[in-house]
Amino acid sequence: MDNKVKIIIIALIAVLALSFFVSFQAYTSKQTIARERDSLKSSNESLVRKTNETLAQIQQLQNRMNAMNADLDRLTKEKTEIQDKLDLANKEKAGLAEQVKILKARQMDSADIQAIKNENAFLKRQLKALNNRRLELEGKLANIQDKNNMLNSQLSGMESMLKERISKTGGVSSSLMQGIPSPNTANTQTGKKEFVELPPIVVRPQKSSLSEADISGLAGKVLAVNRENNFIIIDVGEDDGVKTGHIFTVYRQNRPIAEVSVIQTRNDISACDIMKEETAIKVGDTLK
């Protein structure tokens, strides 16, 4: 009888020890799961913050790319307009060349031929300026295109990073659901083309000089000197009342040094043939 009691007591002690051990293990596992859950929550919040920052960076890059595209469109339109001007100037040059041939065939006098040469030289300068402007625009377009490609590359990299972080966020959420008996479900939001025409070029025969009273009070400056074709460009034109045939005296320090005759006019500039020159005309000389 005593042996049975002892056996029963030992069995009860063993059961109690086993129960205590199991309870201790369950408590330890619960604490570990709680710590892991808190760690996963912290990681999830960090990934969400990084995801939001990445989205903001992507939006900034998108805005920059839109601005670059607008600049690209504007420069493309400007290049097209310059090209149209260049084509028109080439047509006018070809027309002048044809006029020169016709005039030579008809044996026109030297004054008319000189006027056409002056027109041709003026057009050559315009063509050169337009070509330079076109080359400058092409360089700007290439630069903007390179920047646009770089922004596209950065945007693609940011999108890939965003997808990776969203994937990691989903993995953290899955881990939380597996480790917690009753998890809460979280939702994650993630012109028309305008042609500019040059003024028509009209070859006019030289008129006889007008009276000094017709240009009384007019004063201007020399903008350019063309020694090859013996003419100058001045800063007064049709808007100031200048007409073909007007005679101007060129001054330097209030001393007359040359006389010129207007052979062609524009709105605000004129071309003058050098008739008499005591001292070589320079840019900046005045005329009356």
The per-residue pLDDT string of the chain (288 residues; one tens digit each, 9 = 90 and over) reads 678 788 888 888 989 888 888 888 888 888 889 888 888 888 888 888 888 888 888 888 888 889 889 989 999 888 898 999 889 888 888 888 888 777 766 655 666 667 778 888 888 888 888 888 888 888 888 888 887 787 677 667 666 765 665 554 444 434 434 543 443 433 333 333 333 333 443 334 443 344 444 566 788 999 999 998 999 999 999 999 999 999 999 999 999 999 999 999 998 899 999 999 999 999 999 998
Q: Which two tokens stand for residue 255?
A: 């001393």
Could you give the domains of the chain? 37-179 (1.10.287.1700), 212-287 (2.40.10.340)
Q: Are 271 and 278 in contact (CB under 8 A)?
A: no
- In the chain the first and final C-alpha atoms are separated, in Å, by 148
In angstroms, the CA 177 to CA 162 distance is 23
Q: Are 186 and 172 in contact (CB under 8 A)?
A: no
In angstroms, the CA 275 to CA 248 distance is 10
The one-letter code for the residue type at 136 is E
Q: Where are the beta strands (DSSP E) in 147-238?
A: 220-226, 231-234
In angstroms, the CA 84 to CA 78 distance is 10
In angstroms, the CA 86 to CA 131 distance is 7
Q: Which helix (H) or strand (E) holds 87?
A: helix 2-105
Global pTM?
Answer: 0.30
Q: What are phi and psi of 258, to 5 degrees?
A: -165, 165
Q: Are 232 and 274 in contact (CB under 8 A)?
A: yes
SS3 182: coil
In angstroms, the CA 112 to CA 217 distance is 29
